[in-house]
Chains A and B, each alone.
Chain A
Amino acid sequence: MTEIQSDRLQPTCLAPTGSSSTILIALLAAAVDIGASLMLRYLDLGTISRIAVALLPVPANLGLIVKIVRSVRGLDDFQKRVHLEAVVIAFLATALAVLTYGFLEKADAVGPMNMVVVAGFMGVFYALGYHIAARHYR
Chain B
Amino acid sequence: MNNRIRVCRAEKDWTQAQLAALIGVSRQAIVAVENGKYEPALPLAFKIARAFDKNIEEVFLWNGTNNE
Contacts and interface: CB of A to CB of B under 8 A. Distances in A.
B4 interface: no
Contacts of B22: 1, 5, 9, 11
B26 A15 contact: yes
Contacts of B47: 9
A36 interface: no
Contacts of A8: 50
B33 to A, nearest CB: 8
A31 to B, nearest CB: 31
A105 interface: no
A81 interface: yes
B26 A11 contact: no
B18 to A, nearest CB: 5
A79 B31 contact: no
Given A4-B53, A9-B47, A138-B31, A14 B24 contact: yes
Nearest to A79: B26
A4 B12 CA distance: 11
B29 A76 contact: yes
Contacts of B31: 137-138
B32 interface: yes
A8 B47 CA distance: 9
Given A4-B53, A5-B50, A137 B24 contact: no
B25 A76 contact: yes
A2 B28 contact: no
24 contacts: A1-B14, A2-B12, A5-B22, A9-B22, A9-B24, A9-B50, A9-B51, A13-B24, A14-B20, A14-B25, A76-B24, A77-B40, A77-B41, A78-B26, A78-B28, A78-B29, A78-B33, A79-B26, A137-B28, A137-B31, A137-B32, A137-B37, A138-B35, A138-B37
Interface of A: 1-2, 4-5, 8-15, 75-79, 81-82, 134, 136-138
